[in-house]
Amino acid sequence: MTARICFLGTSHIAAPRRAWTENSGRWPGVTASFVGGHGDTLLQTEITRGVMRPVSDAARSAFHTLSGVDLVNLDGFDALVLTGCQISLSQAVLVHKSMRWIGLPSLPSAANLPAMKPALVSHAAARASLCAMLDDRLGPVLARHLRSGTNVPLWITSQPRYSIAAAKSDKKHVVPYLLARRMGDGPAISALFDDAAARTASAAGATFIPQHPGTIRQDMFTALTFMRGATRLAVDPDRPQPSNDFIHANARYGALVIDQVVAALTGRAPPTLPDMEPSAE
Amino acid sequence: MSNPYADLPPRAFWRSGVAMADRSRFPGLYEPRLTLTPATAVATAGSCFAQHISRHLRRAGCVVLDAEPAPAVMPEPVAQAFGYGVFSGRYGNIYTPRQMRQLLEDVLRRRTDPRFVWARDGAYVDAFRPTVEPEGHSSPDEVLVHRTWHLHRVLQMLRRTDLFVFTLGLTECWEDRETGRVFPVCPGIAGGTFNPDEHVFRNFRTTEIIRDLTTIHTHLHRFNPNMQMLLTVSPVPLTATNSGDHVLTASAASKAILRAAADEFVKTTPGTDYFPAFEIVTHPASGGPWFEPNMRSVSAAGVEKVMDIFLSAHGLVAEPAITPPAGPALASASDEDEENVSCDEVLLDAFANHGPQGGVAR
């Protein structure tokens, strides 16, 4: 099988890029290109006859300095993979912060329900809220932008969940995660996210690739194995990440993302993780 | 020579009150008997036209209560689709006084009944507000839990209400033969299964409407003894009638009955008032036409006119509606249908057998 894959994305694109750089032989018959840009620079482009060109100085600079290209011939690929484009579990955690639905382990008994502070909503309302929130994120917006100029199959990958190391953090944005985990709602939030992300991607003309289940810890976090030595998109790709970077994953994680994409393209199940370290996390 | 008409104000005469009047503002058409200030806690309920009242009151800075506000992160189009923020409770359209009375009695008694859970497309909905959950719930028990939550929240809201605004929509409805409970839409339209042995068509008469309004008034005072009640009649005609009459005459009869009942009730009940939205929209003297090309939906200009007259009579002014700027790529668009008004009754139109000219084939 041969497959030409183009990864487009934000800082999270660095993980699969490094995986590819370090061991492209893992994927025989596959060629991979990587085009990244911070923020919404990838939207500052126009697509004509299947070719994406930057239309702003910021986008031109991103194409040139971060990816070494001036344009992207989208139609020359078999798959376009949008990576790390704000499709994150954090949106589902936000939903959980202000609403609850039947089926959550934390839901009070019927007698105590009226005193519950978050609103009781239907599961469908929670999911619709999350879908609408995700729909405004970069992934689906970029997918629609690309879809307007090319028919190449599109995939959207999940951003990695926060590092399990964040569970010991007192950072404000981690607190809702910890509360949800303590309440036992992590599995339901995680399931809601994967469901909503898949629906949102589909509506944008793309297919969602959820986070590899073998990388997930306690439903809401990513195993340290895949976060230690994290990498992110930068002019200097060797610059070490700060030790408290809970958000970005490493090349090992990136390799699994490529595995998932290749599996999706070939219709095969992604490989399991026989070489993963036993978790002490 | 003296006579009773000699000292009447200009509003009492057709020529000065209508023909020669400033019909853009219609001075004297509505002289409020009730107090409405920005500090008044207002609750709204009724047919689809009532949604405009909530929206404009909010724009005028009034306190429009919301028993079940949409969660903070719920995007507005989702909130609207799931019935949040449309009225002061997530009760959906309340077309008849009987339906309103029934809701208040459910609130007072905290009554839920598993018989009134409707199946729909593999899901389950509350028979008394079947459209607030577009995708339904996964089990009948879930419907009942949500109804209990709803009734509790409405109770809390009604206890805080100073002014209850109720828009009368229809006289026709469908009733459960065994219990006498009425539905906002015919079983089989938005859920459930129509069964002629179980479901009875009702077309309420004037005396029944007055009786229900009186009971509503009594119930409202059980939540707050000082609560005032403002009635309007929706100018929106029926989507369909089961009366056997032509839908135009059925609409006229229905509105006439509601209007007569409102008049009788308000004239005999202290602490109540009537606002003539129906007259402003439907009477040729007010200009217009104030309907969309379907001759049913009230145009945005018509709504503006009605609400300008209402608010200015209370010394209030609505701020212009804020139109979100046309967003770049990151904004999401939603279809606008009848100025985003939710109307369950429109569902009936799906069952019409429209002929080639757009008429209904007989």
Q: Using the predicted structure, report yes or no on whether residue B295 has a pLDDT greater than 70.
A: yes
Distance CA A58, CA A217 (A): 37
**Residues A125, B74: C-beta atoms closer than 8 Å:** yes
Distance CA A166, CA B154 (A): 41
CA distances from B238 to A90, B95, B293, B342 (A): 46, 11, 15, 15
Provide the shortest C-alpha distance from residue B80 to chain A (in Å): 11
What pLDDT shows up at residue B174? 98
Q: Using the predicted structure, report yes or no on whether residue B130 has a pLDDT greater than 90.
A: yes
CA distances from B68 to A199, B88, B354 (A): 27, 8, 38
pLDDT category, B276, cuts 50, 70, 90? very high
Q: What is the DSSP string of B242-297?
A: -SSS-HHHHHHHHHHHHHHHHHHHHHHSTTEEEE-HHHHHH-GGG-S--B-TTSSS
For CA atoms B101, B107, B108, B110, give the dihedral sign: positive
pLDDT digits (tens, 9 = 90+) for B22-58: 988 899 999 999 999 999 999 999 998 888 999 999 9
What pLDDT shows up at residue B43? 98
pLDDT category, B362, cuts 50, 70, 90? very low
Residue A36: how many CB atoms within 10 A of its CB?
24
What pLDDT shows up at residue A31? 95
Three-class SS of residue A173?
Answer: helix
Radius of gyration of chain A (CA): 19
**Residues B73, A125: C-beta atoms closer than 8 Å:** no
pLDDT category, B331, cuts 50, 70, 90? very low
Q: Using the predicted structure, report yes or no on whether residue B350 has a pLDDT greater than 80.
A: no
Question: Is the minimum CB–CB distance between A216 and chain B shorter than 8 Å?
Answer: no
**Residues B77, A132: C-beta atoms closer than 8 Å:** yes
Per-residue pLDDT, averaged over B54-74, amounts to 95
**Residues A98, B74: C-beta atoms closer than 8 Å:** yes
Per-residue pLDDT, averaged over B210-218, amounts to 98
State how beta strands B272-275 and B228-233 pair.
Answer: parallel
What pLDDT shows up at residue A229? 84
Average pLDDT, chain B: 90
Question: Is the minimum CB–CB distance between B152 and chain A shorter than 8 Å?
Answer: yes
Closest to A194 measured CA to CA, from A181, A177, A211, A179: A211
CA distances from B196 to A225, B26, B183, B199, B201 (A): 65, 48, 14, 5, 9
Distance CA A17, CA A3 (A): 16
Q: Using the predicted structure, report yes or no on whether residue B175 has a pLDDT greater than 70.
A: yes
pLDDT digits (tens, 9 = 90+) for B131-154: 999 999 999 999 999 999 999 999
**Residues A113, B148: C-beta atoms closer than 8 Å:** yes
How far from chain centre, in Å, is Cα A16? 12
User: Tokens representing B51?
Assistant: 């949604």
Non-local (6+) Cβ contacts of B308 within 8 A are B25, B318
- Pick out chain A residues at pLDDT < 50: 277-281
CB contacts, 8 Å: A94 with chain B: 73
Q: Using the predicted structure, report yes or no on whether residue B183 has a pLDDT greater than 50.
A: yes
Interface of A with B in 154-213 (CB under 8 A): none
Closest to B200 measured CA to CA, from B180, B183, B177: B177
What pLDDT shows up at residue A168? 85
Provide the shortest C-alpha distance from residue B133 to chain A (in Å): 8
| CB B53 within 8 Å of CB B232 | yes
Closest to A131 measured CA to CA, from A143, A120, A144, A140: A140
Closest to B202 measured CA to CA, from B182, B177, B173: B173
Which residues pair with residue B354 across a beta bridge?
B360
Q: Using the predicted structure, report yes or no on whether residue B326 has a pLDDT greater than 60.
A: no
Share of chain A above pLDDT 90, in %: 73
Interface of A with B in 60-119 (CB under 8 A): 94-95, 97-99, 102, 110, 113-114, 118-119
The residue of chain A with its CA nearest to that of B67 is A119
For CA atoms A102, A106, A111, A112, give the dihedral sign: negative
What pLDDT shows up at residue A241? 64
The residue of chain A with its CA nearest to that of B137 is A122
* Predicted TM-score (pTM) of this structure: 0.88
Interface of B with A in 270-299 (CB under 8 A): none
Q: Using the predicted structure, report yes or no on whether residue B348 has a pLDDT greater than 70.
A: no
Three-class SS of residue A58?
Answer: helix
User: Tokens representing A179?
Assistant: 């509360």
Asked if residue B289 has a cis previous peptide bond (ω within 30° of 0), the answer is yes
Q: Using the predicted structure, report yes or no on whether residue B293 has a pLDDT greater than 50.
A: yes
